């Protein structure tokens, strides 16, 4: 496990985790950053500029648009991990569907180090509906002690634009006031490890899809492997119970396998991948899709760079994954 740096002074050291792929994304992240800075300034009775020095906003503070070269993605990843190691608090925006898997990874990494983590959502998109019951937040995040705040209620205003602006301002104000600014750095991730035995942990979207379960059948032929099971059940109480089990398996395993086909990974899976990376575990990352996008500056991307850069091995077929899995499980 990577050791976190000593806290400097009495101010919380905050990492703002948010998608940064569009102008709207960056404006939303900047709004959250400004709200956090104002709250720290008010609570700690320090200047806004000093409070801003204790808050890190990726892209902006890394001067990401100035990073060039063939290893650009790696450079960005390393800088973000360094700042996550520095942070005592990770505050995230998680709006829309799907949620940004890089943000979920950063939250998992931070919780593995013992940071206070919180998410703000201003949408009405639930994670899933099971037998008529709404599963509002991803059960992995709540099982890991992430503070999740959701606010969606448009206040009465003369215009729709003014209503949305008022919602944003009110949601940010309420959110930052509810955060635990007194939590000390290094407070550990509390996991019930009773009777948990796992050599290799495999998470394919938590078993959410039929093809996930087919992949699990292939993996079950390999010894000393346990699979994530939280989405195999149809009651919210069982989902929560098995989410806790999945978290315990990920923490106890010596290595882990994650499947990330598509542009975004399952939120809980990306979070668990961050936990495992934070605990220094070897990671197999399977990505079989041929989807490729252009990232910032025209950089070719197959998947969120946080996931790909964290992987020990990246595989492109199930057969290749099973071969790597057999090596890890011996």
The answer to whether the CB of 37 falls within 8 A of the CB of 89 is no
Total residue length of the chain? 330
Amino acid 312: pLDDT: 94
174, pLDDT greater than 70: yes
| Portion of the chain with pLDDT greater than 90, in percent | 43
Amino acid 300: pLDDT: 65
Which of the four pLDDT bands, split at 50, 70 and 90, describes residue 307?
A: very high
- Enumerate long-range contacts of 18-22, CB under 8 Å, 24 or more apart: 18/58, 18/92, 18/93, 18/100, 18/103, 19/93, 19/100, 19/102, 19/103, 20/58, 20/59, 21/296
Which of the four pLDDT bands, split at 50, 70 and 90, describes residue 121?
A: confident
Torsion sign across C-alpha atoms 112, 118, 122, 125: positive
221 is written with which tokens?
């032929």
Which of the four pLDDT bands, split at 50, 70 and 90, describes residue 4?
A: very low
Q: What is the pTM of this model?
A: 0.89
Strand runs labelled E in the chain: 14-17, 55-56, 89-93, 116-121, 128-130, 133-135, 147-150, 200-203, 225-227, 255-259, 283-286, 293-294, 300-301, 313-315
230 is written with which tokens?
């939280």
Q: What is the Cα–Cα distance from 103 to 112, expressed in whole angstroms?
A: 14
Amino acid 193: pLDDT: 57
183, pLDDT greater than 70: no
Amino acid 72: pLDDT: 78
- Axis crossing angle, helix 236-252 with helix 267-278, rounded to the nearest 10: 30
Structural domains in the chain plus CATH codes: 14-178 (3.40.50.450), 200-329 (3.40.50.450)
278, pLDDT greater than 90: yes
pLDDT in tens, 14-37: 999 998 888 888 888 999 999 999
Amino acid 60: pLDDT: 83
Amino acid 2: pLDDT: 45
């Amino acid at each position: 496990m990577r050791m976190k740096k000593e806290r400097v002074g009495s101010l919380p050291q905050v990492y703002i985790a948010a998608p940064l792929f569009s102008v709207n994304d960056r404006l939303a992240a900047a709004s959250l950053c400004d709200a956090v800075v104002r709250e720290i300034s008010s609570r700690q009775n320090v200047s806004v500029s000093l409070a801003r020095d204790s808050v890190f906003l990726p892209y902006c503070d890394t001067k990401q648009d100035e990073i060039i070269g063939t290893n650009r993605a790696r450079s960005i990843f390393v800088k973000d991990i360094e700042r996550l190691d520095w942070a005592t608090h990770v505050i995230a925006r998680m709006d829309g569907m799907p949620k940004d898997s890089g943000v979920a990874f950063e939250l998992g990494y931070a919780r593995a180090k013992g940071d206070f983590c919180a998410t703000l959502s201003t949408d009405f998109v639930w994670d899933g509906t099971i037998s008529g019951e709404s599963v509002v937040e991803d059960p992995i995040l709540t099982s890991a002690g992430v503070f999740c705040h959701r606010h969606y209620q448009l206040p009465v205003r003369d215009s729709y634009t003014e209503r949305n602006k008022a919602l944003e301002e009110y949601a940010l104000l309420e959110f930052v006031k509810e955060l635990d600014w007194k939590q000390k750095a290094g407070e550990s991730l509390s996991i019930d490890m009773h009777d948990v035995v796992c050599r290799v942990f495999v998470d394919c979207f938590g078993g959410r899809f039929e093809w996930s379960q087919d992949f699990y059948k292939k993996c079950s032929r390999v010894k000393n492997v346990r699979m994530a099971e939280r989405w195999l059940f149809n009651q919210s109480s069982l989902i929560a119970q098995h989410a806790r089990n999945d978290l315990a398996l990920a923490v106890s395993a010596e290595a882990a396998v994650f499947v990330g086909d598509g542009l975004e990974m399952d939120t809980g899976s990306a979070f668990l991948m961050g936990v495992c990376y934070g605990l220094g575990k070897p990671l197999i990352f399977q990505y079989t899709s041929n989807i490729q996008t252009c990232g910032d500056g025209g950089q070719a991307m197959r998947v969120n760079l946080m996931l790909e850069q964290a992987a020990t091995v990246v595989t492109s077929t199930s057969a290749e994954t099973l071969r790597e899995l057999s090596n890890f499980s011996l």
